[in-house]
Structure 1
Amino acid sequence: MNYALQWLRSLIFVGQMYLMMVIMGLLFTPWMIIDRRGAYAGIHTYCRWVRWTASWMVGLKSEIRGTVPSGELIIASKHQSFFDIIMIVSVVPRPKFIMKHTLKWAPILGAYAARIGCVAVNRGKRGEAVRKMVADVASGRQRPGQLIIYPQGTRVAPGVERPYKVGTGVLYTELNQTCVPAATNVGVFWPRTGIYRKPGLAVVEFLEPVEPGMETGAFMAHLEDVVETASDKLMAEAGFDVKPKA
């Protein structure tokens, strides 16, 4: 009975979440077209709405730990579900992403993504994304902000191991920017797929920044170590049985 009730609450929450994405997207569109600040305002408002409604509709509280990054830098985050994106974007001032090329044509979403400086790239061509990002920064075309990337390339469920892709290290080296690692436990409560949302405390933790200058291989080893260690700690805190790494 409790599971059925929580599933129903989750269904209502998910439904209103996507409905509000459309409503808020349309409401902020005129401001977004006139001024880029309107795009950021719309995105921040929506993400904070999702966090707030999750807290009372399904009992999923959320917390940001560590120093919120600002300025022109890279955020390399563990990615477990849509909610870690929501949480990060709700607090960083100028978020931007490397995104799937198909999203470029998505109604409303594509317009906002273009306005905040996201880089669209064909699936499987992350090397192209890296080259484009580096070229745009060098030429001054790329808008300043916090570039959010996922070193494992996709959402990874708690307890599942997946390699870190070297593209993150190449970006760190070529852009010569500070990288802020980020850990999370959101997948314990908000799965990669499905409707059900568990109550609890979802956390995104910004870790110690990595300043420019590390060799690519050493940087990747360090990044994986700190993100995985911190994420395992957060998941254990949330009650997930973290298995020792093989």
Structure 2
Amino acid sequence: MLLLRSLLFHALFYLVTLGLMILFSPVLILPRRWGWPVVPFWARTCLALLRWIVGLKVEVRGLENIPEGGYIVAAKHQSAWETFALLPLFASPTYVLKRELRYIPLFGWYTAKYRQIPVDRGKRSVALARMTEKAGEAVAEGRQILIFPEGTRRPAGAEPRYKHGVAHLYRSLECPVLPIALNSGVYWPRRGWTLYPGTVLVEILPPIQPGLELHACYEHLVSAVEGASDELLREAARRDPDSPVLALVEERWRARGRVFPRA
């Protein structure tokens, strides 16, 4: 039954996404500020589908830590969940995403319309310079740059692999970095179709203010996000002790020479 509900959600997710993109396609010729509400509406619709079909809810903590104006949002990346679920939290977000996504019909048009920042992963030095330029423009306009510092999804409990891109942006743009911890991988695993009921916990941590050296920013970010995400995994174990994903988390921690507390 759980797999059937999960498959139903996945089917509706893509159908609803396609349907909304077609339904609201006239916004592509309107000024951006008029059409932007379509994007958080889509994200909230997907979250509602998750809640109704799978029983997966969300609890966000630390909303008081969200600053005003332009800044970098650096979030833990455990699943596909955060690629849309974080959008409604911010006034004018823009994602740093793979350039190839621009070539998807309709979806790519929306990313271009709302000025998401494409990155060519095959040209690292050029890509970093281009990303910095576009990110600087976005921050100057008071927008929020959503970026996943590990670059790709990492399974819940796996060894973190942070890249230095966020720290380079922080130093170049001289703006705050807002770290976000989460435990979405317990309920929407990186691989497989099955989704699990429960509550994804999101913790918005105090922003890292401008002025730190590059390495200090990097170390602060990794320590803050990983420490808080580990605590959220422990809380998931207390809330949902029978989750099969937590058994995998325990194995991953053991492989890292750590003990995952189940109580």
What TM-score results when the alignment is normalised by the length of structure 2?
Answer: 0.85
Give the AA of the match of 2:83: I
Change (3 A) 1:59 1:115: same
Runs (5+) with no aligned partner, structure 1: none
Map of 2:111 onto structure 1: 113
**How far apart, CA to CA, are the structure 2 residues paired with 1:205 and 1:141?**
23
Select between 23-32 and 142-151 the one with higher mean Cα deviation.
Answer: 142-151
Map of 2:233 onto structure 1: 235
Give the AA of the match of 1:24: L
After TM superposition, the structure 1 = structure 2 runs for residues 97-176 of structure 1, keeping only pairs within 5 Å, are 97-136=95-134, 143-176=141-174
1:25 maps to 2:34:
no
After TM superposition, the structure 1 = structure 2 runs for residues 1-246 of structure 1, keeping only pairs within 5 Å, are 5-67=1-63, 68-136=66-134, 143-239=141-237, 240=246, 243=253, 246=257
**How far apart, CA to CA, are the structure 1 residues paired with 2:67 and 2:139?**
22
Give the AA of the match of 2:149: P
**How far apart, CA to CA, are the structure 1 residues paired with 2:138 and 2:57?**
39
Shift of 1:15: 0.4
**How far apart, CA to CA, are the structure 1 residues paired with 2:155 and 2:222?**
16
User: What root-mean-square deviation, in Å, do the aligned CA atoms of Structure 1 and Structure 2 show?
Assistant: 2.0
SS at match of 2:83: helix
Select between 217-226 and 154-163 the one with higher mean Cα deviation.
Answer: 154-163
Give the AA of the match of 2:216: A
Shift of 1:128: 2.7
Shift of 1:140: 7.9
Map of 2:242 onto structure 1: none
Change (3 A) 1:130 1:201: same
Shift of 1:229: 0.5
* Per-residue deviation, residues 91-126 of structure 1 (Å, max 9, x unmatched): 212111121111111111111111222121222434
**How far apart, CA to CA, are the structure 2 residues paired with 1:139 and 1:154?**
24
What TM-score results when the alignment is normalised by the length of structure 1?
Answer: 0.91
**How far apart, CA to CA, are the structure 1 residues paired with 2:67 and 2:83?**
14
Identity between Structure 1 and Structure 2 (%) = 36
Retained in 1: the 8 A contact 2:27–2:34? yes
Change (3 A) 1:229 1:138: closer
SS at match of 2:45: helix
Shift of 1:20: 0.5
Give the AA of the match of 1:197: L
Give the AA of the match of 1:45: F
Give the AA of the match of 1:11: L
**How far apart, CA to CA, are the structure 2 residues paired with 1:96 and 1:112?**
12
Retained in 1: the 8 A contact 2:3–2:194? yes
* Per-residue deviation, residues 58-108 of structure 1 (Å, max 9, x unmatched): 010112211245421000010011111222112212111121111111111
**How far apart, CA to CA, are the structure 1 residues paired with 2:135 and 2:4?**
46
Runs (5+) with no aligned partner, structure 2: 238-245, 258-263
SS at match of 2:181: strand
**How far apart, CA to CA, are the structure 2 residues paired with 1:125 and 1:80?**
25
